[in-house]
Amino acid sequence: MMLLLKCPKCKNRMKYNSTGLISEKNKKRCVYCGHSYKVRESIVQKS
Protein backbone atom coordinates (compact mmCIF):
# COMPACT_ATOMS: atom_id res chain seq x y z
CA MET A 1 0.00 0.00 0.00
CA MET A 2 1.28 3.40 -0.94
CA LEU A 3 0.83 6.17 1.59
CA LEU A 4 1.41 9.86 1.45
CA LEU A 5 3.07 11.21 4.57
CA LYS A 6 3.62 14.73 5.77
CA CYS A 7 6.62 15.59 7.87
CA PRO A 8 5.44 17.38 11.03
CA LYS A 9 8.60 19.45 11.09
CA CYS A 10 9.22 20.74 7.57
CA LYS A 11 5.72 20.00 6.21
CA ASN A 12 7.06 18.35 3.09
CA ARG A 13 5.18 15.41 1.69
CA MET A 14 6.69 12.09 0.72
CA LYS A 15 5.61 8.66 -0.34
CA TYR A 16 5.81 5.69 1.96
CA ASN A 17 5.54 2.14 0.73
CA SER A 18 4.10 0.06 3.53
CA THR A 19 4.56 -3.68 3.55
CA GLY A 20 1.67 -4.56 5.79
CA LEU A 21 0.07 -3.13 8.85
CA ILE A 22 1.42 0.10 10.23
CA SER A 23 1.96 -0.09 13.95
CA GLU A 24 2.59 2.66 16.46
CA LYS A 25 6.26 1.80 16.30
CA ASN A 26 6.73 2.42 12.57
CA LYS A 27 8.84 5.47 11.98
CA LYS A 28 9.94 7.26 8.88
CA ARG A 29 12.94 9.50 8.48
CA CYS A 30 12.16 12.59 6.48
CA VAL A 31 14.16 12.74 3.26
CA TYR A 32 14.18 16.53 3.39
CA CYS A 33 15.12 17.46 6.94
CA GLY A 34 16.11 14.14 8.53
CA HIS A 35 13.48 14.34 11.23
CA SER A 36 12.08 10.98 12.37
CA TYR A 37 8.36 10.82 12.91
CA LYS A 38 5.63 8.29 13.46
CA VAL A 39 4.11 7.04 10.24
CA ARG A 40 0.62 6.48 11.56
CA GLU A 41 0.19 10.01 12.88
CA SER A 42 1.40 11.64 9.69
CA ILE A 43 -0.66 9.99 6.99
CA VAL A 44 -2.12 12.50 4.58
CA GLN A 45 -3.58 10.13 2.05
CA LYS A 46 -4.00 6.43 1.40
CA SER A 47 -4.07 5.11 -2.10
Size of the site for Zn ion (CB under 5 A): 7
- What backbone torsions phi and psi does residue 40 show, to the nearest 5 degrees? -60, -35
Shortest distance in whole angstroms from residue 33 CB to Zn ion: 3
Pairing of strands 27-29, 43-46: unpaired
CB of 20 or CB of 38, closer to Zn ion:
38
To Zn ion, the closest distance from the beta carbon of 12 in angstroms equals 5
- Piece of the chain touching Zn ion by CB under 5 A; list 13-21, 23-31, 38-46: 23-31
